[in-house]
Amino acid sequence: MKKLDNIQKDLLLTNLDEDGRLSCLKAFKVARLIGMKPKEMAAVTRNMNIKITNCELGVFGKIDFSEMDDKIYNKLSNNFVQDKKVECEVAWYTARDKGASLRKVGSTINNSDIKVTHCQLGCFYDEEFEHYDDK
């Protein structure tokens, strides 16, 4: 893992919430700001004893979600990798579709039988939350 310089550390630290955690969305932003791949963020934050929280897809954190959307569910179901599992990246791409949003996709996943796999930030590898570092 690439070591962060002081400027990179400051950029990360200034994006923490009041509890000293980094939200999912801000983790993507910080990755871009510090010149890292999003997948490296979980390792970076673990190394600094910072937790990533509030997954936009409802896998972890405390985001409140609305109702499931049947149209979004059907779009996601076309991309199941197996047994009602969808990759995080596919869910995010689905959110870019007309009539969808990240919050609607997250609400659909959170209120259905769909499981998210392969976190883009490296927080977990599959729906069992197997960490990349554990492999």
> In this structure, is the dihedral angle defined by the CA atoms of residues 31, 51, 49 and 89, taken in order, positive or negative?
negative
pLDDT at residue 1, as a whole number:
61
Q: In sequence order, what are the residues at sequence separation of 6 or more whose Cβ sits closer than 8 angstroms to the Cβ of residue 98?
A: none
Q: What is the pLDDT of residues 55-107, one digit of tens each?
A: 999 999 999 999 999 999 999 999 887 789 999 999 999 999 877 899 999 99
The better pLDDT of the pair 1, 47 is held by 47
pLDDT at residue 134, as a whole number:
36
pLDDT at residue 33 above 50?
yes
Closest CA to 124 of 81, 18, 115: 115
pLDDT at residue 31, as a whole number:
97
pLDDT at residue 34, as a whole number:
96
- The full set of domain ranges for the chain reads 6-53, 70-127
